[in-house]
Every structure is written in C-alpha cells, then in structure tokens.
Amino acid sequence: MSGYDLKQILDHSTAHFWHAHHSQIYTNLRQMEEEGLVTSQFIQEEGQPNRRIYHVTEMGKAALKGWLDRPMQEMSPIKEELLVRLFFSGQRESHQIIAELQHQRRLHLQRLKEYENITVRMGDEKKPIELERESRFWHATIQLGLRYEKAYLEWLDETIQMVESL
C-alpha cells in the first residue's frame, strides 16, 4: 500500500496505542526501501493523484518475524505530562488545577465512548468467541484501552475531589 494508505490505517486502528505523522511514514518507507525491506512502484493514472505503492519483500517479512520473536524484556516506559504538571502544582491555584483536570476528564470520557462504540460495532464485548484469531488480538488492544480510560476517569474524579477539598 501507499504511505497515505498506511497513515489512514494507523489512524483508524492503532492510533490509541501507536501513532505516526505522515512525514515520518514517508521518510521511513524510503529508508526501508534502501534497506531492502520493501520495494515500491510509482503509479501515474489519469484522473487519479500520483501514488507510490510499497510491497513488503521476503527480507521485510523476515525482519518483522525477527522482531516478534524477540519478546519484550521491559515494561513500556510512561510519559504522562499531566502528572508532571500535577507534581509541580504546589504553588498553583486550585481552581486552575481543577479546570485542567475537568478538561482532561472530558477528553478521556470521549475517548472511552469511542472505545465503547468500537466494541459495540464489533459485536458483543462479552462474546468475542466468534472472532477470527487476528481480530481477537485487535480486540484485546481495545480492551486495554477501555480499562485504561475507566481507571483514568476514576482517578480524575478522585483527584478533582481532592483538590476541591484543599
């Protein structure tokens, strides 16, 4: 597929746990072509925009397999800017902190609803038995998203209350 296609697919599938800008995708595809992981063909059609279509090579497939065969040894590191801000909020005014937490609450609630819509669209969240093997893994990534957003929202409510009580 093309860089543009890849970007669309990323935005509609992995965006909640891994994202990339189009500039990164285009440059990385070119790099991967130099490394022999993919090949490309430039397609010019009348009435259609130009596209550069990439195909994965055997080397590319082997590289992906090689990566999957080396299991993660560490936990993914976390960078949560809101916690940095909260950590340094000792001198801030409570109402400003509360406003910021409430804004985050709205965002996380919206995200939770998006995940809930996805699971509803996939069928019943309690019966993923009928799904194909590949879909199950994608379903699992959404499940972590759901749990994460629920936990985050509970924490936001608890923390808003805490700041209100100061």
Partner DNA sequence: CTGCTCATGTAATAGGTTACATGATTGC
Partner DNA sequence: GCAATCATGTAACCTATTACATGAGCAG
Q: Name the residues that contact its own copies, by CB under 8 A.
A: 13-14, 16-19, 64-65, 68-69, 71-92, 96, 99-100, 103-104, 107-108, 111, 128, 133-134, 136-138, 140-141, 143-144, 147-148, 150-152, 154-155, 158-159, 162, 166
Candidates 22-30, 58-66, 100-108, 111-119: pick the segment binding DNA (CB under 7 A). 22-30
2 binds DNA (CB under 7 A): yes
52 binds DNA (CB under 7 A): yes
SS (H, E, C) the chain: CEHHHHHHHHHHHCCCCCCCCHHHHHHHHHHHHHCCCEEEEEECCCCCCCEEEEEECHHHHHHHHHHHHCCCCCCCCCCCHHHHHHHCCCCCCHHHHHHHHHHHHHHHHHHHHHHHHHHHHCCCCCCHHHCCHHHHHHHHHHHHHHHHHHHHHHHHHHHHHHHHCC
- The nearest distance, CB 132 to DNA, in angstroms, is 26
Rg (CA), the chain: 21
Q: Between residues 49 and 90, which has the closer beta carbon with respect to DNA?
A: 49
Q: Between residues 69 and 158, which has the closer beta carbon with respect to DNA?
A: 69
Q: Between residues 47 and 78, which has the closer beta carbon with respect to its own copies?
A: 78
138 binds DNA (CB under 7 A): no
79 binds DNA (CB under 7 A): yes
In terms of Cα–Cα distance, which of 138, 139, 145 is closest to 126?
139
- The nearest distance, CB 104 to its own copies, in angstroms, is 7
In the complex, the residues that contact DNA under the rule CB under 7 A are 2-5, 19-24, 26-27, 29-30, 42, 46-53, 77, 79
